[in-house]
Chains A and B, each alone.
Chain A
Amino acid sequence: MLTQVQLKNFRGFKDTTIGPLKRVNLIVGQNNTGKTGLLEALVLLLGDPVQVINLLSLFRSTGGDMNESWRWVHYNKSTSQPIEIKAQFDGAKKYCIELGNSAVPQHGHILAGSIGDGERLYAIGPQIHESVKASIFSTHPTDPRQDAIDYNRVVLQRKKKKVESLLQKIEPRLQAVETLQTGNTPLLYADMGLSEMLPVTQMGQGFSRLLDIYSELVVAEAKVLLIDEIENGLHHSVLPVIWSGLFNVAAEADVQIFATTHSWECVLAADEAARKMPEYQLNLIRLDRVDDNIKATIIDKEAMGTAKEHHWEMR
């Protein structure tokens, strides 16, 4: 599990250390304070190096000159200093990636080249990214065909009932989720007890996204889930039960979650669920722009309790 991360020269992060991290890390902050940037940094650290260039479009809309867009990934658009993402795993193991034009440092090895203006991504330390994969849930609509293919992993691992029972807590009418191919492509269908199965694409975005997240969690191929705006498409009344499910399955599958939110109801629901677990495993991480850097403040269980008691705004 990631226990600390340090971001240097990456987007708005001049030099920011965030930690200690926990099982679930909920990231809040005003607009443009680096919430999504932090998720991107973790993609850079843990994602497939070959796909690094796709970083620009994972969570954001892109357009125009890609090289120009890529320069914005650097702090102050300056490519003279390399981007550094350093991480600590389980409090001890250290891993660092750098991205820039400079020579590959000693003990470093290239992961990917020709990025942006010919920059290279190289790793220093053991190849953590091979064992700690990250899975990404952006706010972009997903490809329904790929969702159906991915769901097969859930079925193969006999975890279909688990996913269905988690979903039934927010949609009691649900009886089953099946992959069916009625035309050229497979699609996910929900059995809602109606005369005909309902394509998941015709259900709400929140349900569909939650199906993806739960499926990824139970399969646990990725050990880190990165979820942008987790509350998107979800009614506030179901947030406590969703968080309860996420905490339980994340603990069972040994998966770590990093999620952003703008919703205080979402934060309260996460805190409520965390307090029902044997061990409180939630960090509220608030990012603030201070001077020319981004500052991370970690609000722990005790501080959350005080904040709730006094109705403080902590976002």
Chain B
Amino acid sequence: MKFVFCEGKDDLAVIQGVAVSIGLNDLNIEFFSGKDNLTHFLKAARLRPEFSRNQVSAVGIVRDADEDGQAAFQSVRAAMLANGFNAPEKSGGVAAGEILTGVMIIGPNDGKGMIEDLCLKSVSNLPEFPCVEDYFRCVSQKRGRADFSAKAKVRAWLATQSDHDLRVGKAAEAGYWPWQSPAFEPLKVFLKKLANASEIKAV
């Protein structure tokens, strides 16, 4: 049994979409309801029957980099070590052990950012995407404001889709994110490492 723990429902849907797109259907993806809950979540998770019965071969944690990817990584690593898990030395890496463990920090903007940035990056090469950028540029000029977040841009892009009222997670379930985009490649590589846990442990 292999677990991927992520921050929230939107992250879960995106990771699920990426995993299924590369044929990884046996990952158990769950969310820990925000980065501040990770330590408590892992402590309780270790008490689940699957862990007690030694049925778990891999645990991966995915969270947003937010403003500081390195701090996010260290925070996840500390939570894992505090709860008796091994932890890798860098984001995207895995650590061998009785349970293979991995950490992936989502920071597509030079180590910063969140799942929305990743989704945005995945559609940034689409022909219609400059229209979204133009929209925000126009609003910036008219209102003198330039700090529109990735969440705002994601919503604007999603508003142009046939179902115009979806958020990131629901859009993932509806298949609006192009899973073949290179933006998702690091996440795919990470999930494959977890999926191949038994082979990696054997090395």
Interface residues of A (CB under 8 A from B): 286, 288-290, 295, 297-299, 302-303, 305-307, 309-310, 312-315
Contacts and interface: CB of A to CB of B under 8 A. Distances in A.
Nearest to A303: B44
A315 B44 contact: no
B33 A309 contact: yes
A290 B49 contact: no
Contacts of B170: none
B192 to A, nearest CB: 26
Given A290-B54, A302-B43, A303-B43, A310 B30 contact: yes
A148 to B, nearest CB: 43
A309 B44 CA distance: 11
Nearest to B32: A310
A313 B47 CA distance: 11
B48 interface: yes
B9 to A, nearest CB: 12
A166 B166 CA distance: 52
23 contacts: A286-B49, A286-B52, A288-B49, A288-B53, A290-B52, A290-B54, A299-B44, A299-B47, A302-B40, A302-B43, A303-B44, A305-B44, A306-B40, A306-B43, A307-B47, A309-B33, A310-B30, A310-B41, A312-B44, A312-B45, A313-B49, A314-B47, A315-B49
Max chain A CB contacts within 10 Å: which of B40, B49, B53, B54? B49
Nearest to A311: B30
B13 to A, nearest CB: 16
A313 B54 CA distance: 16
A305 B40 CA distance: 10
Given A290-B54, A309-B33, A303 B47 contact: yes
Nearest to B33: A309
A172 B44 CA distance: 39
B47 A297 contact: yes
Interface residues of B, number: 13
Contacts of A299: 44, 47
Nearest to A296: B52
A315 B52 CA distance: 11
A295 B54 CA distance: 11
A1 B165 CA distance: 59
B44 A302 contact: yes
Given A288-B53, A290-B54, A312 B48 contact: yes
B41 A306 contact: yes
A288 B45 CA distance: 16
5 A-B pairs with the lowest CB-CB distances in the bound complex, closest first: A306-B44, A303-B44, A288-B52, A297-B52, A303-B47
B48 A314 contact: yes
Contacts of A295: 52
A286 B49 CA distance: 8
A105 to B, nearest CB: 33
Nearest to B43: A303
Contacts of A288: 49, 52-53
A269 to B, nearest CB: 20
